Amino acid sequence: MVLPVLMLLALTVAGCGGPRAAGAPAGAAAESPAAPPGAPPSRLVKFGLPSVALSYMPIYIADEQGLFAAHGLRAEIVTMASDAAPVAAMQGEIDFGGSAPSAIDLALRGGTVKLVMGLFDTSPWTLIARPDVQTGADLRGQIIAVGGPNPRAFALAGVRHLGLDPSSEVNLLNTGGTSNSLTALLSGQVAAAVVTPPYDAKAKAQGFHELLFLGDLIDFPYVALPTSQRTLDERPALVRDALLALLRAQQWWREHPAETIAAIAERFQVSEAEAADAYAVFSRIMSPEGMVKESSVRAYLQAQGEAEAAAGPLDRFIDHRPLQEAQRLLGLSQQR
């Protein structure tokens, strides 16, 4: 059973703010030198993300390290539910969303959105539960918090793995974002939550525990950025330059581990050891050169009963052309 999003104050506050670096508003870049006289004005690039999450760290890095600014861009990050972002992209309200499954679902319904870059491939989702929930049987009749379509799919797989029927023996609460799911768990609104690092560590520090690691149960796309066909057609340079900045952010992540770990610890209010563990996990699953993992997209389509789409060309769902142009500018491999 799937419950609607609860419009609770605690969840709303968590989704709109969430843990982040002190003094830095959600869409603000690190302070950078003023543009020289006569320089063209920066172009606004808007991201619609469900919550503050480590999976979006390359976006934060590109913003705060001035990589967007280096390519003539000014980033703004707005909070919206995963399934709302692709629709907002089609309507021109944002330029990029943050959820691959939501974009694929919309494309299956006829929406003109495509995935243009992958940030992380494999899903590090974990089912974290209250101390009294030790087995699958303890979850019967309980509520599990999920932040969107992707964690929902992993929750369903996990519930089945634990021997329960997800349609009748548990309730899934869509919180709209991973930080919201953590808030729901810590506040006692749910018995368990599907989260990723470093939120798992934050929950464990409060006495919760890992009931089941979910990431290896199914091969679904994790974090990939969708944009609209209209944006691809009308603003190709903006798409390319945004992806170029994000590729450089992925490089910065790899080349500056100490600085990245410190940024994770500050933004998510975790210890340096917890931040280092999260950095190690996400470093292993970072998308090679930003390419969307096509096998995961096919697996997701197959799971949705779209066997014909899963077996055919993926041009309806993925457009790697702006990424490939950005890769060429950086001298990166385009193999996947």
Q: Would you tell me how many other CB atoms lie within 10 Å of the CB of residue 35? A: 12
Looking at every residue in the chain, the average pLDDT score rounds to 88
Contact predicate 185/192, CB 8 Å:
yes
What is the predicted pLDDT for the residue at 80?
92
- Whether 28 shows a pLDDT value over 60: the answer reads no
Distance CA 162, CA 136 (A): 5
What is the predicted pLDDT for the residue at 334?
58
| Span of 16-20, 108-112, 115-119, 150-154 with lowest mean pLDDT | 16-20
**How does residue 1 score in pLDDT terms, banded at 50, 70 and 90?**
low
Percent of the chain exceeding pLDDT 90 equals 75
Crossing angle of helices 236-255 and 257-268, in 10° steps, is 100
- Whether 241 shows a pLDDT value over 70: the answer reads yes
In this prediction, residues 148-167 reach a mean pLDDT of 94
- Whether 244 shows a pLDDT value over 70: the answer reads yes
What is the predicted pLDDT for the residue at 276?
95
In this prediction, residues 30-37 reach a mean pLDDT of 42
- Whether 17 shows a pLDDT value over 70: the answer reads no
Interacting residues of 244 by C-beta distance below 8 A, sequence separation 6+: 71, 326, 329, 330
269 — alpha (psi -120 to 50), left (phi > 0) or beta? left
Distance CA 285, CA 218 (A): 15
| Distance from chain centroid for Cα 67 | 20
Distance CA 315, CA 311 (A): 12
Instruction: Write down all domains in the chain, each with its CATH number in brackets.
Output: 8-123+220-330 (3.40.190.10), 126-213 (3.40.190.10)
What is the predicted pLDDT for the residue at 288?
83
Contact predicate 277/197, CB 8 Å:
yes
| Span of 30-34, 95-99, 288-292 with lowest mean pLDDT | 30-34
In this prediction, residues 308-312 reach a mean pLDDT of 95
Collapsed DSSP state (helix, strand, coil) of residue 132: coil
- Whether 319 shows a pLDDT value over 60: the answer reads yes
- Whether 16 shows a pLDDT value over 60: the answer reads no
Distance CA 95, CA 106 (A): 16
What is the predicted pLDDT for the residue at 149?
84
Amino acid at 273: A
In this prediction, residues 89-116 reach a mean pLDDT of 96
In this prediction, residues 15-42 reach a mean pLDDT of 44
Contact predicate 140/164, CB 8 Å:
yes
Digit-coded pLDDT (tens) for 71-99 = 999 999 999 988 999 999 999 999 999 99
Digit-coded pLDDT (tens) for 160-210 = 999 999 999 999 999 988 999 999 999 999 999 999 999 999 999 999 999
Compute CA distances 306 → 99, 107, 116, 153, whole Å. 19, 12, 21, 16
Q: Which residue has the tokens 């929750």?
A: 155
Collapsed DSSP state (helix, strand, coil) of residue 61: helix
Contact predicate 229/317, CB 8 Å:
no
